[in-house]
Amino acid sequence: MRLGILGSGSGSNMQAILDAIDAGTLDAEIALVLSDNPDAFILERAAKRGIPTGVIDCRGFKTRYPEEAQLETARQLKDAGVDIICLAGFMRLVKQPLLDAFPDRILNIHPALLPAFPGVAAWKQAVEAGATETGCTVHYVDAGMDTGPAILQAKVPVYPDDTPETLHARIQVEEHRLYPEAIQFVGEKLGL
Residues that bind ligand GRF in the complex, under the rule CB under 6 A: 7, 9-13, 88-89, 109-111, 172, 175
Cβ at position 69, least distance to ligand GRF in Å: 19
Give catalytic status of residue 110 as yes or no: yes
Cβ at position 56, least distance to ligand GRF in Å: 15
Q: Which is nearer to ligand GRF, 109 or 131 (CB)?
A: 109
DSSP result, the chain: -EEEEE-SS--HHHHHHHHHHHHTSS--EEEEEEES-TT-HHHHHHHHTT--EEE---TT-SS---HHHHHHHHHHHHHTT-SEEEESS--S---HHHHHHSTT-EEEEESS-TTSS-SS-HHHHHHHHT-SEEEEEEEE--SSSS-SPEEEEEEEE--TT--HHHHHHHHHHHHHHHHHHHHHHHHHHTT-
Cβ at position 15, least distance to ligand GRF in Å: 8
Cβ at position 32, least distance to ligand GRF in Å: 17
Q: Which is nearer to ligand GRF, 81 or 149 (CB)?
A: 149
d(CA 128, CA 54) in angstroms, rounded, equals 36
Q: Which is nearer to ligand GRF, 111 or 180 (CB)?
A: 111
Q: Which residue is nearest to ligand GRF (CB)?
A: 89
Q: Which is nearer to ligand GRF, 53 or 71 (CB)?
A: 53
The residues annotated with a catalytic role in the active site are 110
